[in-house]
Chains A and B, each alone.
Chain A
Amino acid sequence: MTIVAEPIFLDTNILVYASVDSSPFYTSARAQIDAYEDINTPIWISRQVIREFLATLVRPHLGIPITTITAAARQFEVRFRVAEESPLVTVQLLLLLEEGRSTQVHDTNSVATMQSVGIQHILTNNPDDFQAYAHLITIIPFSSNIVQP
C-alpha cells in the first residue's frame, strides 16, 4: 500500500466508494482513508469533488434521499480540508490547458486545484485520466492500494 505523509487529494470516486455500503470497495476505501489519517497525512478534497459526489449519487433511479446525500457531503466537508475555487485555480487551469497535454477540462481543473494549494499526490481509481499531468503530480492508483485478504 502506498501511504504518503505529504498532503493527498481524494478524487470523487474515492468518496463514493467510501460512503456507499454496497460498493465493492467500501471497506478498502475507508481503510485507506484511515491509514492516511493514522500517520497524519493532510487529506484534501475540493468544492468540485463535493459537487461531483452529489451529482454522482443524486440520480432518481438510485432512490437515495437527498438529505442522506447532502448530510454525507457535509460530513466530508468537516472531516477533510477543502480546497476553494479561487482565482488561482482558474489561472492554473488556463495555463495547464494551454500546455496542450489534455483537453479534459474537468480533470484538469482538479489538477489546477491541487496546484493552487500545493498538493502533489492524488488518490484515484481513474489513474489514466490524470496521466497527462504525471509530470506535475504523483498519481496513486486506488487499486494498487487495495490490501488483499
Chain B
Amino acid sequence: MHTDELIRVRQLLRHLSFQDKLYLLNDLTMQVISERTNNAVPPKREPLPTIHLPQWPDNLALRREDLYNDHSR
C-alpha cells in the first residue's frame, strides 16, 4: 500500500465511531495474529522435560472436570 493510501485510510478512521473503531481493531488484531500464527519462525527445539515419578498415580486429574473439581456439569 502506498503512503498516500495509508494517509487516506487514517483520515477515514478518524471519522468512525468509537464502536466502529473497536470493531476494526478486533478485526485487525485477528488478522495480525493469524499471520503471525502461520508465518512464525519455529522456536529452537529444546529437549522435552522429564519428571521422575517412581509410579504413575491412578488419581491424576487429567480431565478438566477433575482438575477444577467441576462435576456439576
Contacts and interface: CB of A to CB of B under 8 A. Distances in A.
Interface of A: 7, 12-13, 16, 18-24, 30, 33, 37, 40, 42, 44, 52, 55-57, 61-62, 64, 68-69, 71-72, 75-76, 78-81, 86, 88, 91, 103-104, 106-107, 116-119, 125-126, 129
B67 A52 contact: yes
Nearest to A51: B67
B6 interface: no
A78 B43 contact: yes
B33 A116 contact: yes
B64 A107 contact: yes
Contacts of A24: 56
A30 B29 contact: no
A22 B34 contact: no
Contacts of B51: 19-21, 57, 64, 68-69, 72
B37 A118 contact: yes
A71 B40 contact: no
Interface in B17-61: 26, 29-30, 33-34, 36-38, 40, 42-57, 60-61
